[in-house]
Amino acid sequence: MFIKYDEYELNSFFENEPISIGDISSGKYIYSYVDCDFKLVMTVLVYEQIVDIAISYCEKTICNIEITDIDRIERSEDVIYIYTNENKVYVLKKKPIIGLVQE
């Protein structure tokens, strides 16, 4: 299995292209976004179905979470929805401040 997502939606949300970890065919990518002193880093392991999200402020970690068994990632406006196979939904937002919540 693998994570279903639209790479253009993620590029648009993070406002840049990801960094590939290792061989590009490995399906391992790092996305990042910086807003003032806040930094959001999302690592996507497509084939392992894992997403790791780190949020920091002034170089200090606020949140670091690994979400496993990811089914798909979707974007709506300035929000990313991360859906797991266990019907959990994580919402990643940029505005008005970077944040992550589980619905």
pLDDT at 24: 79
Mean pLDDT of 61-75: 96
In a domain, 2, yes or no: no
Instruction: Give strand pairing partners of 85.
Output: none
Mean pLDDT of 79-96: 95
In a domain, 17, yes or no: yes
In 3D space, the residue among 16, 12, 29, 3 whose CA is nearest the CA of residue 76 turns out to be 12
In a domain, 75, yes or no: yes
pLDDT at 33: 95
In a domain, 57, yes or no: yes
In a domain, 82, yes or no: yes
Q: Which residue range forms the structural domain that includes residue 95?
A: 7-102
In a domain, 53, yes or no: yes
Full DSSP string of the chain: ---B--HHHHHHHHTSPPEEPSSGGG-EEEEEEEETTEEEEEEEETTTTEEEEEEEETTEEEEEEEEESEEEEEEETTEEEEEETTS-EEEEE-SSS-EEEE-
In a domain, 84, yes or no: yes
In a domain, 1, yes or no: no
- Residue-wise pLDDT for 27-61, tens only, equals 999 999 999 899 999 999 999 999 999 999 999 99
- The number of domains in the chain is 1
